[in-house]
Amino acid sequence: MKTLRPLVVYTPPGYHGGSDKYPVFYLISGTTDTEETWYRVGRANFIVDNLIAEKKAVPMIVVMPYGNTMTGTPDLIESIIPYVDASYRTIPDREKRAIAGFSRGGGQSLFAGFTNTDMFAWICSYSAFLSPEVFEKYFKNIYADPDATNKQLKLLWLGVGDEDFLYKNAVTFNDLLKEKKIERKTLITSGGHTWMNARHYLTETAQLFFK
């Protein structure tokens, strides 16, 4: 991008001084957030630390970039992932790479994951959606052969609060996936478009990755 862009990287206990390689989870920020919000407000480092300590989650690297609607997927695919794979002890394999995000970051995660199924096998949306128009225009690769998609994706996960202002859109997207015979896991919680729910979704999904 010919400029410097910050990102935050969580490494699991034992990373420093060790030699093991790890799967990578890309966790994308929302509309008004920065690369710091997922750990300052989302408490991502504490959540993943505790899950690993309790042996509920696989040790993983978590990369928290600054979400950006202007560059989005190209930034992630062409700049961030190559940088992370070159700079950290990652396992550079699609089955060892997950992506999720909250709000706008959830939409970006769906877009990036569906566009690059050769790079991501685990795709999650926290309080987000794709409109039927966008999904059907850009992602025929996902719905044209649902059996192939269901075999390729290890996890497609959607979570939203029942008082979220995006709830109806998220339900419509879920119904569309059902109609297209795309397998997914869903979670509807109480409450709205809040970080309490975002932390809940992170806790639920981090336990599923890379198993």
Beta strand pairing status for 7-10 and 24-28? Answer: unpaired
HSE-CB at 23 with a 13 A cutoff on CA atoms is 21
User: Cα separation of 103 and 198, whole Å?
Assistant: 9
User: Cα separation of 210 and 94, whole Å?
Assistant: 10
pLDDT of 174 reads: 98
Query: Whose CA is closest to 22, among 99, 67, 84, 82?
Result: 84
Residue 173 has pLDDT above 60, yes or no: yes
Beta strand pairing status for 7-10 and 61-65? Answer: antiparallel
Residue 95 has pLDDT above 90, yes or no: yes
What is the set of domains in the chain, with CATH numbers? Answer: 7-206 (3.40.50.1820)
pLDDT, tens digit, 9 for 90 and up, residues 102-154: 999 999 999 999 999 999 999 999 999 999 999 999 999 999 999 999 999 99
Query: Whose CA is closest to 127, among 99, 164, 177, 157?
Result: 164
72 band by pLDDT with thresholds 50, 70 and 90: low
H or E, element range at 108: helix 104-115
Residue 50 has pLDDT above 60, yes or no: yes
User: Cα separation of 68 and 71, whole Å?
Assistant: 6
